């Protein structure tokens, strides 16, 4: 049974989320502040974290940042604000997805399943296929071990970042629009996806590029989208 850690200082929200997720067969671990969530993760394996941004004490942003230092599990942030700044900040420090309060519990359940499916696929190894290596210059992706290296150094990516980079490297030279990237990676219609994709692209660049402001690999094609150069 997969374990979902739900962290929010509003007990009613935690209880409501728990009811829906438990009904879908998940085990829910409740926490009411960031410090408590981190303590639970030290003691118990967790498959996905749902965390509220605005909490007293250790808030959701700092909690996410600390989790990312040790784990690549999917993280969904909840925010009472509709401003893009909250969403971008959350994605920037390592969250995989976000929902703005009030939200439809069924949408949250769908996003949880989607993130877990993507994370599980990222961790799976298919030993029947030996053709797992994709490379562009000094950038190498081993899709068997799900490992990314640049100039021999291992780069740690979140599942979303990995899948975006794999898509672009597999199709090196091809330009993908923001909507195309979003729909292929998130498997849902791209509505207002610009900021979401842009944040993940920037995060990838910060990890694989020597100078993210002058990228060697991941290039923007102004007015069109993004691509990975065939010969950087």
Question: What is the location of CATH 3.40.50.2300 in the chain?
Answer: 3-123
Q: Does the domain formed by 133-228 have CATH 1.10.10.10?
A: yes
The confidence score (pLDDT) of residue 121 equals: 64
- pLDDT at 226 > cutoff 60: yes
With a cut of 80, say whether residue 65 has pLDDT above it. Answer: yes
Mean pLDDT of the region 141-145: 86
Domain with CATH 1.10.10.10 in the chain: 133-228
pLDDT tens digit sequence for 8-61: 999 999 999 999 999 999 999 999 999 999 999 999 999 999 999 988 889 899
Q: What is the pLDDT of residue 125?
A: 34
pLDDT band at 143 (very low <50, low <70, confident <90, very high): confident
End-to-end CA distance of the chain: 44
The reported pLDDT for the residue numbered 209 is 93
**Cβ atoms < 10 Å from Cβ of 18:** 17
Radius of gyration of the chain (CA): 18
What confidence score (pLDDT) does residue 126 get? 37
Q: State mean pLDDT over 84-111.
A: 85
What mean pLDDT is reported for the chain? 87
What's the whole-number mean pLDDT along residues 110-115? 91
- Mean pLDDT score, 59-72: 89
Q: What is the pTM of this model?
A: 0.63
> Residue 131 pLDDT > 60, yes or no?
no
Contact 37, 79 (CB under 8 A): no
User: Which homologous superfamily does the CATH classification assign to the domain defined by 3-123?
Assistant: Response regulator (3.40.50.2300)
- The secondary structure element, H or E, covering residue 179 is helix 178-186
């Amino acid at each position: 049974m997969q374990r979902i850690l739900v962290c929010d200082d509003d007990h009613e929200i935690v209880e409501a989320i728990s009811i829906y997720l438990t009904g879908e067969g998940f085990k829910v671990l409740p926490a009411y502040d960031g410090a408590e969530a981190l303590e639970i993760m030290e003691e118990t394996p967790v498959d996905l974290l749902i965390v509220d941004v605005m909490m007293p004490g250790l808030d959701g942003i700092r909690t996410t940042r600390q989790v990312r230092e040790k784990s690549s599990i999917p993280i969904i942030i909840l925010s009472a604000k509709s401003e893009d700044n909250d969403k971008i900040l959350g994605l920037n420090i390592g969250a995989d997805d976000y929902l703005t309060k009030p939200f439809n519990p069924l949408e949250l359940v769908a996003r949880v399943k989607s993130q877990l499916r993507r994370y599980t696929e990222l961790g799976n190894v298919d030993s029947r296929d030996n053709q797992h290596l994709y490379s562009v210059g000094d950038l190498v992706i081993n899709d068997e071990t799900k490992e990314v290296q640049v100039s021999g150094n291992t780069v740690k990516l979140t599942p979303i970042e990995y899948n975006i980079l794999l898509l672009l490297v597999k199709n090196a030279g091809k330009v993908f629009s923001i909507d195309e990237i979003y729909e292929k990676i998130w498997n849902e219609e791209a509505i207002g996806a610009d900021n979401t994709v842009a944040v993940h692209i920037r995060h990838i660049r910060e990890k694989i590029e020597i100078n993210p402001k002058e990228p060697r690999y991941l290039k923007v094609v102004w007015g069109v989208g993004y691509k990975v150069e065939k010969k950087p």
